[in-house]
Chain A
Amino acid sequence: MSDTTNWSCSDNATIESAIRRGASRRDLLKLMLANGMALAAANAVFGRASQAVAATPVKGGALKAAAWSSSTADTLDPAKASLSTDYVRCCSFYNRLTFLDQAGVPQMELAESIESGDAKTWTIKLKKGVTFHNGKDLSADDVIFSLKRHLDKATGSKVAAIASQMADFKAIDKNTVEVTLASPNADLPTILSMHHFMIVADGTTDFSTGNGTGAFKCKQFSPGERSIGVRNPNYFKSGPNVDSFEFFAIPDENARINALLSGDIHLAAAINPRSVRLLEGQNGFALSTTTSGTYTDLNMRMDMVPGNNRDFVEGMKYVVNREQIVKSALRGFGVIGNDQPVSPANFFYNKTLKPKSFDLDKAKFHFQKAGVLGQTIEVITSEAAGSAIDMAMIVQASAAQIGMKLDVKRVPSDGYWSNYWLKAPVHFGNLNPRPTPDILFSLLYKSDAPWNESRFNSEKFDKMLLEARGSLDQAKRREIYNEMQVLVSEEAGTIIPAYISNVDAITAKLKGLEPNPLGGMMGYAFAEYVWLTA
């Protein structure tokens, strides 16, 4: 295929995911021909991609995967989980009440059903016959213990703020829990799919053994070293396919890729787009691309000079060359964004909201109106926010073309989040995916939001947020969320030029890996679903 156009592995991944979403052969050919591919080659790609989708799982094998970061702070306590490595381990040893499918819709895992008549009082029925690794049956007490832990400050839970809305827990019977929220929230099933809400056994204080209900039993867990899980024979689902799962980290990216190339591991997580070329020439390797809600944004505080001038903010939105950012800063591994945090992978994504065009004339007009042309404006950027430095350079170059001087100040990553982020007048930020628009908007855009990056303040917006949260009418919620996306895209001082893809590299032997809106590595839960071919 190397002799056709500039076709790359990322395009292969696009095609595969299009097939999974149900695209017809005609759609795909159109897509590929649009990319300048010869018809014969396009047919070959199509054949291979549909083969990958149709394959049936094989049992057996020892799965080995390496992520990018690990330290003695590694934990099997789901409440404390902070890195993707913790999520992967938690997913293999524990289960959640719900999980998100590819389309971002919550599906039941440990729960049989989660229902509510008013979005305030929720009845959670549990599946029967689920056991923990130590033989104990799953019961309502375990669920209450697991959820209630997040409210205790001494737990140090990462989701304490989200969990604080759960006001009351009641065990109706052995398999039924009633959770009462402080105020209505229709998103509870989605919230419970977050990795921190894994269900642990009642009364657990020592988490080092990973006693959950998950697909793998913990055989070894050494923080900062590795974890090994073996197949749980009593697992309540049909998986896992592999006999054992070893997971560790190789922080050095070259070493991680070399380990994959030499066949020591089956999956190398989080590959920088820069290194993709190393893998592309090689046979027997593939990339798995996931575009969920990760983004790096440029924030202009609207309560400080120069962001308090609407025209400056407006001008900046036109001066950002989004296409170039995706092409050069992200090497094509991203999707153009439209200045609002709900990503295309989300169920509530507003498809009709178009990103602002790159228009230097309009930008110049607004800058002139704001009276900032000829001034030098400081933009704070750092390695801490992924690709922020490259993005800053691109914006600076575009601005220079119309005589707008941006002084890009590069500051160290250490301490960036406490010293510059949310504080500097014009600065870059970065966000990991969150599952619901409600969480995103409450965290980032509500008037009193803790991470209100641009100090966006709108009473109308706050009211809509509460209205959508409490409503069980899906169509109405979609309508409100669509409007809210338009609102922040137009009025907030935050530019989200692109949603950044996560790229995992895998050997061709590893099958069954699919993108998931909760993040890379199949929402971190890949171990129980994938299989190895000989």
Chain B
Amino acid sequence: MKRQVTSLAVRRLLIALITLVIVSFAVFFATALLPGDTATILLGQSATPEAIEGLRKAMHLNDPAIVRFLRWMAGLIQGDFGTSYANNVSVANLIRGRLANTMKLAGLTASIAVPLALTLGITAAMWRGTLYDRIVTVATIGIISVPEFMIATLAVLLFAVYLRWLPALSFTNEVKSFYDLMRTYAMPVVTLTIGVSAQMIRMTRAAVVETLNTPYVEMALLKGASRPRLVLRHALPNALGPIVNSVALSLSYLLGGVIIVETIFNYPGVAKLMVDAVSTRDLPLIQTCAMIFCLGYLTLITAADIIAVLSNPRLR
């Protein structure tokens, strides 16, 4: 079994590397297809042909695309992410703080959302058909249908504007105590938790219900296993594969897809950074952000697969 996991991990690692190279190619050339370049965008309305030419020369934008790509790639291999076109700051510096912020937000959200979703999903499956199950199901469907910006805006209106309990914006630089942390992160974390849990609850419930319907669970029931034991000991290990997968997908969303929450709470994370980078056609920054998202996604999915293998009695 150990060998199986190792070979899976190695195979995944190789595929991940190839995927990263393909993604970086795709992102680079997709960006090159966008109209305008950093020089024209930075100069805006005041872009005269001479001014553009001068700035392009100064920024080495006149080199062929492939040369710029290879230069960036060579730097990356040596651990240098390059320098942002838009403001001449090293990409590593730009990303460091932002990535830490994103990880903090994602970590906090995950630590609440995952246990919550699993508990609700599993219990709903255990007591399938009861009033409790109906309430959970209807609530999750209701929440999936409400867009995130709506939840976030309503939360701000209620807790910040009318009740004045919480700040409307998340000033991460002002966090000095645990109380500050709670106040600052309460609304973004709750908004995201609501958004990502709904998916996980539904997936968990569906997976557990499906395994509960299999003959071997029926066998266990006939043997006289108690209901909790039936679900936790017999059904859950087999349902874990799809559950872990949906958890991984939700978490990868938290890494790069929370632009709306970042915008509304003015939270400085990487999603906003990537959007900025695209609007200024800032290639080194776009590339690095894309690599981070891709790497995060691959890591999570690989981890999910390994957990699925480990948990599956038939594969053990």
Contacts and interface: CB of A to CB of B under 8 A. Distances in A.
Given A75-B87, A154-B55, A154-B58, A250 B266 contact: yes
Interface string B38-71: 0101111110101101110110000000000000
B273 A224 contact: yes
B280 A156 contact: no
Interface in A131-178: 152-154, 156-161
Contacts of A208: 87, 89
A417 interface: yes
Contacts of B42: 73, 80, 82, 156
A264 B54 contact: no
A510 B164 CA distance: 20
Contacts of A514: none
A249 B272 CA distance: 12
Interface in B248-291: 263-266, 268, 272-273, 276-277, 279-280, 282, 285
A72 B51 contact: no
Contacts of A284: none
A105 to B, nearest CB: 26
Given A153-B55, A208-B89, A161 B48 contact: yes
Interface stretch (B17-25, B118-126, B152-160): B152-160
Interface string A413-426: 00101100000000
A533 interface: no
Contact of A224 (B35, B50, B157, B276): B276
Interface in A97-132: none
Nearest to B277: A72
Contact of B153 (A82, A222, A255): A255
B161 A258 contact: yes
Contacts of A450: 48
Contacts, number: 122
Contacts of B35: 415, 418
A255 B54 contact: no
Contacts of A153: 50-51, 53-55, 57-58
Nearest to A206: B88
A265 B169 CA distance: 9
A interface, by DSSP: helix, strand, loop or mixed? loop
Given A73-B280, A153-B51, A223-B86, A255 B266 contact: yes
Nearest to B268: A225
Interface in A162-208: 208
A226 B57 CA distance: 30
Interface residues of A, number: 42
Contacts of B277: 72
Contacts of B191: none
A72 B161 contact: no
A252 interface: yes
A376 interface: no
Interface residues of B, number: 48
B276 A222 contact: no
B160 to A, nearest CB: 4
Contacts of A250: 169, 263, 266
Interface string B163-187: 0100111010100000000000000
B9 interface: no
Contacts of A222: 97, 268
A251 interface: yes
B83 to A, nearest CB: 12
B268 A156 contact: no
Contact of A73 (B86, B156, B173): B86
A73 B282 CA distance: 9
A266 B307 CA distance: 50
B103 interface: no
Residue in A71, A72, A208, A252 with the greatest tally of chain B CB atoms within 10 Å:
A72
Contacts of A75: 87
Contacts of B211: none
A74 B160 contact: no
Contacts of B265: 255
Nearest to A415: B35
B261 to A, nearest CB: 11
A224 B268 contact: yes
A259 interface: yes
B299 interface: no
Nearest to B282: A72
B137 interface: no
A224 B272 CA distance: 8
B51 A223 contact: no
26 contacts: A72-B273, A72-B276, A73-B87, A73-B280, A74-B87, A153-B55, A156-B54, A160-B51, A208-B89, A220-B173, A223-B94, A224-B273, A224-B276, A249-B266, A252-B263, A255-B265, A258-B156, A258-B157, A258-B160, A259-B160, A259-B168, A262-B156, A262-B167, A264-B171, A418-B36, A450-B48
Interface of A: 66, 71-75, 80, 82, 152-154, 156-161, 208, 220, 222-226, 248-252, 254-255, 258-259, 261-265, 415, 417-418, 450
- Pick the 10 closest A-B CB pairs, nearest first: A153-B54, A154-B58, A262-B160, A71-B276, A262-B168, A156-B55, A73-B86, A259-B168, A72-B276, A225-B268
Given A160-B51, A224-B272, 12 more contacts: A160-B46, A208-B89, A223-B87, A224-B273, A225-B98, A254-B153, A255-B156, A258-B161, A261-B168, A262-B167, A264-B160, A264-B169
